[in-house]
Amino acid sequence: MSDVTPPPAPTPPPAAPYAPAAAGPKTNTLAIVSLVLAFFVSLGAVICGHIALSQIKKTGENGRGLAIAGLVLGYLGLVAGLIGVIAWIGFFAIAASSGGITFAP
């Protein structure tokens, strides 16, 4: 017998560095807009939030939680604004009736 070494085993091809992302349902844009608007324009957040929930229900997109968060913050902003306006009017009504503020020149 002769000293013959067998050939080396073939090397497998290199693995892909990462798997491609699965294309799932996208996030509803109006849900994102609703959440962002909740910090600036409460009425816009409420309107966009309701429209987003309606679209999500029809299309099955993601973003229901974002839309609900935008709605909750939007309604809280509206209530806070309404309380602020009532307090502002009350302050001036009390100040004017007590003689602390005169509006005549």
Return the domain boundaries, the chain: 29-97
Q: Which pLDDT score, from 0 to 100, does residue 103 have?
A: 61
Q: What are phi and psi of 39, to 5 degrees?
A: -90, -10
Q: Which pLDDT score, from 0 to 100, does residue 100 have?
A: 62
CA geometry: angle 63, 67, 71, nearest 5 deg? 170
Q: Which pLDDT score, from 0 to 100, does residue 59 have?
A: 95
Q: Which pLDDT score, from 0 to 100, does residue 1 have?
A: 58
Scanning the structure block, which residue is given the tokens 């973003």? 63
Distance separating alpha carbons of residues 28 and 68, to the nearest angstrom: 12
Q: What is the pLDDT of residues 57-75, one digit of tens each?
A: 999 999 999 999 999 999 9
Q: Which pLDDT score, from 0 to 100, does residue 53 have?
A: 98
Residue ranges in the chain modelled with pLDDT below 70: 1-2, 99-105
Q: Which pLDDT score, from 0 to 100, does residue 80 have?
A: 98
Cβ atoms 75, 43 nearer than 8 A: no
Consecutive H or E run containing 23: none
